[in-house]
């Protein structure tokens, strides 16, 4: 039997307990929970075959009551000895995508990010378009190119506008990141049945860090009139660990004032956001600290709007917040903002940079308030850029 020792400064104590899918050196993929620097094999520790699956989906589909029961059982395990066969060192396991993603939707919920891009793209007009304060703007992404943290990202190729106004075709020269927070649906909804804003907790299991890689030059040429396509669909990175919403109770904060007041289907009795602090590192250099607390549209509003037309959801569906940015220059969650469209350099280890070069590595981390003045860690989402295919 083993008792897992958790360092006092660890952000992965018994108040956190995020879920992931791992494999030991000689074993199949299965569901585990992180405690400190260890992974608990739930199939062994709880003697439950549902956790022997190579995905969280079967467990998530069981619903909120089951989520609560398992969390309480794992919390008890964390305070006691655990069978040796159920405990693995974090450094000895391989992590895979934690959920089978059925659909992926990306929103545009940061007022600071939307304002910055509006000023860049429409300098002589109002930064926010007329609809922005009335609904959470979003688009459907490509679920099949959501990859787990640590996966290399191949530089995408596509059409780019040249100085002549005509396009050429080649590797993106303005490859960017978007630091985001993703929400994982546990219990789906029926086609034709919207999810009420007050029923968020009956459907969403937890959160994960997202990097929605963006090819800005490809995007700029293609996005009018139908929106993002090849400039976005080549890759979206998802952290290996899903933090349950139950671990983030201490991170709930009032939502910023929304003016004008949202329409009734987007109006919550107690509108809430999340106090989550992100950090963006570029080749090891810290370049930004985006605050999720500034997000204008809430997680519950995004889900209510996503399904307002009767669109169904499924277990494993992922929707993301869009780029998280704050009002200060060092709080911008994308390089198009940090470099102000490429006109201002970003200092990275003594070098002047604007957009990503081959070999660059981006690591996004985050934490949130936990009980008793502690912090809850959300892990990391990591990716390195590889050269475009010939």
Same domain for 53 and 155, yes or no, is no
Which residues are known to be catalytic?
A: 113
Among 219, 214, 187, 217, which Cα is nearest to 203's? 187
pLDDT at residue 390 tops 90: no
In this predicted model, what pLDDT tens digit does every residue of 348-385 receive, in sequence order? 999 999 999 999 999 999 999 999 889 999 999 999 99
**Residue 4: inside a domain, yes or no?**
no
Span 196-212, pLDDT tens digits: 999 999 999 999 999 99
Facing residues of 153 across strands? Answer: 385
Among residues 50, 66, 96, the one where a domain terminates is 96
DSSP annotation string for 236-262: EEE-S-BEEGGGGGGGEEEPPP-SSPP
- Between residues 20 and 25, the one the model is more confident about: 20
pLDDT at 3: 87
Q: What is the mean pLDDT of the chain?
A: 96
Same domain, 39 and 184: no
Taking the C-alpha atoms of residue 217 and residue 208, their distance in angstroms, rounded to an integer, is 28
Strands 375-386 and 361-369: antiparallel
Separation between Cα atoms, residue 114 and residue 296, nearest integer Å: 10
Total domain count, the chain: 2
Reported pTM: 0.96
CB-based contacts of 340, cutoff 8 Å, min separation 6: 120
Instruction: Give the C-alpha separation, 316 to 258, whole Å.
Output: 30
Please report, for the domain that includes residue 207, its CATH number: 3.90.850.10
Same domain for 75 and 122? no
H or E segment at 19? strand 19-23
Q: What is the pLDDT of residues 235-256, one digit of tens each?
A: 999 999 999 999 999 999 999 9
Same domain, 137 and 254: yes
Integer Cα distance of 342 and 121 in angstroms: 13
In this predicted structure, what is the pLDDT of residue 229?
Answer: 95
The residue among 62, 96, 130 that closes a domain is 96
The whole domain housing 49 covers: 19-96
């Amino acid at each position: 039997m083993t008792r897992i020792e958790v360092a006092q400064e660890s952000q992965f104590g018994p108040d956190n307990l995020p879920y992931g899918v791992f494999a030991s050196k000689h074993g199949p993929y299965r569901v585990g929970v992180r405690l400190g620097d260890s992974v608990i094999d739930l199939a062994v520790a709880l003697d439950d075959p549902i956790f022997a699956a190579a995905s969280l989906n079967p467990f998530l589909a069981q619903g909120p009551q089951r989520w609560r029961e398992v969390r309480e059982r794992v919390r008890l395990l964390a305070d006691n000895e655990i069978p040796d066969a159920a405990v693995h060192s974090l450094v000895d396991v391989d992590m895979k995508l934690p959920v089978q993603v059925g659909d992926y939707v990306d929103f545009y919920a940061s007022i600071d990010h939307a304002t910055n891009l509006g000023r860049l793209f429409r300098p002589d007009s109002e930064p926010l378009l007329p609809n922005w304060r009335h609904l959470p703007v979003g688009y459907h992404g490509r679920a099949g190119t959501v990859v787990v943290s640590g996966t290399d990202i191949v530089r995408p190729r596509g059409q780019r506008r040249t100085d002549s106004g005509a396009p050429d075709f080649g590797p993106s020269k303005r490859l960017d990141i978007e630091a985001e927070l993703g929400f994982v649906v546990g219990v789906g909804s029926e086609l034709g049945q919207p999810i009420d804003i007050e029923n968020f907790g009956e459907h969403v299991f937890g959160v994960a860090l997202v990097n929605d890689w963006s090819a800005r030059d490809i995007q700029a040429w293609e996005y009018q009139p139908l929106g993002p396509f090849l400039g976005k669909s080549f890759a979206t990175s998802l952290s290996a660990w899903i933090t349950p919403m139950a671990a983030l109770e201490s991170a709930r904060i009032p939502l910023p004032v929304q003016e004008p007041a949202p329409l009734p289907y987007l109006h919550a009795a107690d509108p809430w956001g999340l106090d989550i602090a992100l950090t963006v590192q570029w080749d090891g250099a810290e370049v930004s600290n985006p605050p999720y607390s500034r997000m204008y549209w809430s997680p519950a509003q995004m889900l209510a709007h996503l399904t307002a037309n009767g669109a169904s959801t499924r277990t494993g569906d992922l929707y993301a917040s869009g780029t998280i940015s704050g009002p200060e220059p060092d709080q911008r969650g994308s390089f198009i903002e940090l470099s102000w469209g490429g006109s201002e350099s970003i200092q990275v280890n003594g070098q002047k940079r604007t957009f990503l070069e081959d070999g660059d590595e981006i690591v996004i981390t985050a934490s949130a308030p936990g009980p008793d003045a502690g912090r809850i860690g959300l892990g990391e989402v990591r990716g390195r850029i590889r050269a475009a295919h010939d």
